[in-house]
Amino acid sequence: MRAVVQRVSSASVSVDGSVVGAIDEPGLLVLVGVTHGDTPAEAGRLAAKLWGLRILHGEKSCSDVAAPLLVISQFTLYGDARKGRRPTWQAAAPGPVAEPLVDAVVAELRALGAHVETGVFGADMRVALVNDGPITLIVDV
């Protein structure tokens, strides 16, 4: 399981022109990718890592300051463009495998006390964000 994490001042995700998830205060935008063989235990570890990651101002975590997270599924995190000009998506888990695991990350974050907004799994989403500093991390669990 892999995530790209960005520290943001605000972020939103829209589907068909309607906002489906948004955070309007400093927090994290998290793109989550699932590969074959990922497990619910890894989803739990990723959620705990995201909740405790100390990348907010003053080396604080979301858990320290109750910062919100916007979590969006992103199969392209497992794209492979090493050969040719067209990436392959073979390493990305199919929807029936990936969706429950992305949902598990969100559920675990909420169980930890996080305010979590989400996109819509499998939808053509438009993501808007205002970065809060040049902080973007790749997290693998």
- pTM for the complete prediction? 0.94
80-107 per-position pLDDT tens digit: 999 999 999 999 999 999 999 999 999 9
Residue 76 falls in the annotated catalytic set: yes
61-85 per-position pLDDT tens digit: 999 999 999 999 999 999 999 999 9
Q: Supply the pLDDT for residue 133.
A: 86
Question: What average pLDDT does this structure show over 32-54?
Answer: 97
Residue 121 falls in the annotated catalytic set: no
Say what percent of the chain tops pLDDT 70: 100
Specify burial of residue 121 (Cβ count, 10 A radius: 0-12, 13-18, 19+). middle
Would the CA dihedral through 110, 116, 117, 122 be positive or negative? negative
Q: Supply the pLDDT for residue 134.
A: 85
Residue 90 falls in the annotated catalytic set: no
Domain ranges within the chain, ordered by starting residue: 2-140
Q: Is the pLDDT of residue 110 over 90?
A: yes
Among residues 76, 88, 90, 136, the one annotated as catalytic is 76
Overall CATH class of domain 2-140? alpha beta
Task: Indicate the residue type of 126.
Answer: R
Among residues 6, 35, 74, 118, the one annotated as catalytic is 74
113-135 per-position pLDDT tens digit: 999 999 999 999 999 999 998 89
